[in-house]
Amino acid sequence: MTDFIKAVEAKPNEKIPQMNPGDTVSVHVKIKEGDRERIQEFKGIVIRLRKSGNDASVTVRRMATNGIGVERTFLLRSPRIDKVVVERHGKVRRAQLYFMRERTGKSARLKQKFD
């Protein structure tokens, strides 16, 4: 049975580094428009990280114009992800940062974690 699961499972993307909730990341995604393909950058804070094999995903939240929050969930094993750049490590005490949804302005900032 485990051989069947391994045969179906997608290979991990080597361009995705180790990241944790609270990190500020820049996700470069391939977007197809008609017959052209371009790379779009989505920069924000990781509020949720699921590391469960083929279903591994990360939810990134950013503040758009006029203080509107935009969240986007990316599958970590998707071939659509070109690369992920971790720009800053945040200091958090929770695994899921859903409380960030109610925060705007200065209260939406996280302290930086220095290793």
pLDDT digits (tens), the chain, 115 positions: 678 777 778 888 888 999 999 999 999 999 999 999 999 999 999 999 998 888 899 999 999 888 889 999 999 999 999 999 999 999 999 999 999 999 888 898 999 998 6
**51: in domain:** yes
**1: in domain:** no
Q: Where residue 72 sits, what CATH number does that domain have?
A: 2.30.30.790
Domain interval for residue 39:
19-92
d(CA 94, CA 9): 29
Give 56's contacts (C-beta < 8 A, 6+ positions apart).
50, 75, 76, 77
**pTM (predicted TM-score):** 0.88
Name the domain count of the chain.
Answer: 1
